[in-house]
Amino acid sequence: MTFNYEELVKNTRKAFNTGKTKTLDFRLTQLKALLRLYEDNTQLMIDALKIDLGKSKQESITGEVNVLKNDVRNLIYNLREYMTPDKPSKDIANLFDGVYIIKEPYGVVLVIGAWNYPLQLLGAPVAGAIAAGNCVIIKPSEVAAETAKLFEKLIPQYLDNECYKVVYGGVTETTELLKQKFDYIFYTGSTMVGRIVHAAANKYLTPVTLELGGKSPVYIDDTVNFDVAVKRILWGKCVNAGQTCIAPDYILCTTDVQHKFISTAQKILKEFYNGDIRHSPDYCRIINNQHFNRLRNLITESNTVIGGATDESNLFIEPTILVNVKADDPIMQHEIFGPILPILNIENFEDAIDFINLREKPLALYVFSNKKDVINTFLTNVSSGGVVINDTLMHFLTDSLPFGGVGNSGMGRYHGKYSFETFSHQKSCLYKDYNIIAESLAAARYPPYSDFKTNFLTQLLKKRKFLKLPGVVTIAFILLASIGIRYFANIYGYSTYWTSFFKSQ
- Taking only the tens place, the pLDDT of each residue in 345-403 is 999 999 999 999 999 999 999 999 999 999 999 999 999 999 999 999 999 999 999 99
**Cα–Cα distance measured from residue 346 to residue 223, given in angstroms and rounded to the nearest whole number:** 16
Say if residues 369 and 224 touch (Cβ distance below 8 Å): yes
- In this prediction, residue 503 carries a pLDDT of 41
CB atoms within 10 A of CB 403: 24
- DSSP strands (E only) in 95-249: 98-105, 108-112, 135-139, 164-166, 184-188, 208-211, 217-220
Sketch out the chain's domains with CATH numbers. Answer: 5-212+417-427 (3.40.605.10), 217-402 (3.40.309.10), 435-504 (no CATH)
- In this prediction, residue 68 carries a pLDDT of 97
**Cα–Cα distance measured from residue 402 to residue 472, given in angstroms and rounded to the nearest whole number:** 39
CB atoms within 10 A of CB 276: 9
Decide: helix, strand or coil at residue 177. Answer: helix
* Greater model confidence, 494 or 285: 285
Decide: helix, strand or coil at residue 378. Answer: helix
**Cα–Cα distance measured from residue 170 to residue 148, given in angstroms and rounded to the nearest whole number:** 11
Q: Which helix (H) or strand (E) segment is 389 a member of? A: strand 386-389
Which residue in 135, 163, 245, 253 is the catalytic one? 245
> How many angstroms from the chain centroid is the CA of residue 5?
27
Which residue in 59, 64, 211, 335 is the catalytic one? 211
User: Which of 122, 81, 121, 190 lies closest to 421, judged by CA?
Assistant: 81
User: Which of 48, 36, 94 lies closest to 428, judged by CA?
Assistant: 94
Q: Is 7 a catalytic residue?
A: no
**Cα–Cα distance measured from residue 493 to residue 482, given in angstroms and rounded to the nearest whole number:** 17
Decide: helix, strand or coil at residue 250. Answer: strand
Say if residues 314 and 213 touch (Cβ distance below 8 Å): no
User: Can you give the length of the chain in residues?
Assistant: 505
**Cα–Cα distance measured from residue 77 to residue 63, given in angstroms and rounded to the nearest whole number:** 22
**Cα–Cα distance measured from residue 426 to residue 435, given in angstroms and rounded to the nearest whole number:** 27
User: Which of 14, 36, 5, 33 lies closest to 163, judged by CA?
Assistant: 14
Mean pLDDT of 457-477: 67
Confidence of residue 499 (pLDDT cuts 50, 70, 90): very low
- In this prediction, residue 440 carries a pLDDT of 83
- In this prediction, residue 486 carries a pLDDT of 53
For 149, counting Cβ atoms within 10 Å of its Cβ (0-12 exposed, 13-18 middle, 19+ buried), the class is: middle
Q: How does pLDDT run across 118-135, given as a tens digit for each residue?
A: 999 999 999 999 999 999
Q: Which helix (H) or strand (E) segment is 148 a member of? A: helix 145-158
Q: Where are the alpha helices (DSSP H) in 159-254?
A: 171-178, 191-202, 226-238
pTM, two decimal places: 0.91
DSSP annotation of 466: -
Phi, psi angle pair for 328, to nearest 5°: -95, 10
Mean pLDDT of 451-469: 79
Task: List Cβ neighbours of 252 (8 Å cut-off, separation of 6 or more).
Answer: 217, 218, 219, 220, 344, 345, 346, 351, 352, 355, 356
Give me the numbers of helices (H) and strands (E) for the chain, helices first please.
Answer: 19, 17
> How many angstroms from the chain centroid is the CA of residue 170?
24
> CA–CA distance from 454 to each of 143, 187, 266, 427 (Å)?
65, 50, 76, 30
Mean pLDDT of 203-231: 97
Task: List Cβ neighbours of 399 (8 Å cut-off, separation of 6 or more).
Answer: 70, 71, 74, 415, 416
Q: Is 211 a catalytic residue?
A: yes
Confidence of residue 10 (pLDDT cuts 50, 70, 90): very high
Mean pLDDT of 171-197: 96
- In this prediction, residue 500 carries a pLDDT of 45
- Give me the chain's average pLDDT, please: 92
Dihedral Cα 140, 145, 150, 152, nearest 10 deg: 50
- DSSP output for 27-86: HHHHHHHHHHHHHHTHHHHHHHHHHHH---HHHHIIIIIHHHHHHHHHHHHHHHHHHSPB
Decide: helix, strand or coil at residue 345. Answer: strand
- DSSP strands (E only) in 282-371: 304-306, 310-311, 316-317, 320-322, 340-345, 364-368
Least confident of 137-141, 253-257, 451-455, 494-498: 494-498
Give me the amino acid identity at 157: Q
Confidence of residue 95 (pLDDT cuts 50, 70, 90): confident
**Cα–Cα distance measured from residue 291 to residue 336, given in angstroms and rounded to the nearest whole number:** 10
For 362, counting Cβ atoms within 10 Å of its Cβ (0-12 exposed, 13-18 middle, 19+ buried), the class is: buried
Long-range contact set of residues 263-269: C-beta below 8 Å, sequence gap at least 24: 264/226, 264/227, 264/230, 265/230, 265/234, 265/306, 265/321, 266/306, 268/227, 268/230, 268/231, 268/234, 269/234, 269/306, 269/307, 269/319
Task: List Cβ neighbours of 372 (8 Å cut-off, separation of 6 or more).
Answer: none
CB atoms within 10 A of CB 152: 17
Mean pLDDT of 139-164: 97
